[in-house]
């Protein structure tokens, strides 16, 4: 896969103007953007329409966790907006994931990805909600459940990628947030890794945020991340 297509830049912004400025400064360098709850709530679906109109791919990271009918409705709305990927929460179980996959069938370009365990969570956090297994065990359980439900792939930390690739096979999408270049700090992620390590382990895409969006020269930072993906 072309390294440029493997990088998803996270527009974790609280307003449309800031997001638009990042996209403008990156220009043709970046093809794929993540829109999450913060930007969608602040700017509404027009921000997605704007990206799609520019020929960009959009990863809509909603982590849907609702009754199956509501999840299906949200997935159909995402498909109508032209997004390429949408996330559901694996903890919601087979019913939610299957409903999302079925709703996406009307949109051939749309891929449904299941969140396994949020990258900020630890074994202790899982224990707090009654999950006695370790994070790596829970990630694998939910990934298998997602594949059985028909999901196109999963969201997981860089440290989970190698095991997931061997379990899910070569065709599954594995998207990894929580990546940073050597020397950078990602304190909010309990299980981080470098973009190079994630891709080498078998990730299909990496999600990068402030490494690029807060750089003095975002385009140069993007190119540096891209160069780090290859030996």
Q: Find where tokens 């179980």 sit.
A: 93
Q: Quick one: angle between helices 94-104 and 68-81, nearest 10?
A: 30
Residue 34 falls in the annotated catalytic set: no
Q: What is the 3-state secondary structure (H, E, C) of the chain?
A: CCHHHHEEEECCCCCHHHHHHHHHHHHHHCCEEEEEHHHHHHHCCHHHHHHHHCCCEEEEEEEECCCHHHHHHHHHHHHHHCCCEEEEEHHHCHHHHHHHHHHHCCCCCCEEEEECCCCCCCHHHHHHCCCCCCHHHHHHHHHHHHHHHCCCEEECCHHHHHHHHHHHCCCCEEEECCECCCCCCCCCCCCCECHHHHHHHCCCEEEECHHHHCCCCHHHHHHHHHHHCCC
Of the listed 34, 49, 56, 63, which one is catalytic?
Answer: 63
Cα–Cα nearest to 141, from 171, 169, 177, 116: 116
Annotated catalytic residues are 63
């Amino acid at each position: 896969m072309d390294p440029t297509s493997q990088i998803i830049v996270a527009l974790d912004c609280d307003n449309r103007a800031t997001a638009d400025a990042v996209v403008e400064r990156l220009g043709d360098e970046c093809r794929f953007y993540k829109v999450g709850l913060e930007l969608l709530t602040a700017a509404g679906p027009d921000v997605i329409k704007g990206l799609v109109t520019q020929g960009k791919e959009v990863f809509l990271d909603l982590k849907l966790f609702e009754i199956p009918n509501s999840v299906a409705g949200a997935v159909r709305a995402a498909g109508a907006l032209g997004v390429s990927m949408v996330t559901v929460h694996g903890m919601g179980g087979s019913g939610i994931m299957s409903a999302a996959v079925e709703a996406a069938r009307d949109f051939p370009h749309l891929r449904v990805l299941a969140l396994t365990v949020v990258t900020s969570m630890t074994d202790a956090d899982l224990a707090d909600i009654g999950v006695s297994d370790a994070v790596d065990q829970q990630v694998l359980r939910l990934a298998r459940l997602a594949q059985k439900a028909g999901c196109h792939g999963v969201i997981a930390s860089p440290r989970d990628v190698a095991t997931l690739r061997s379990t899910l096979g070569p065709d599954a999408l594995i998207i990894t947030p929580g990546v940073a270049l050597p020397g950078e700090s990602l304190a909010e992620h309990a299980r981080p890794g470098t973009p190079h390590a994630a891709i080498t382990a078998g990730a299909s895409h990496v999600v990068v945020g402030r490494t690029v969006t807060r750089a003095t020269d975002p385009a140069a930072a993007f190119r540096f991340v891209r160069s780090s993906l290859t030996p």
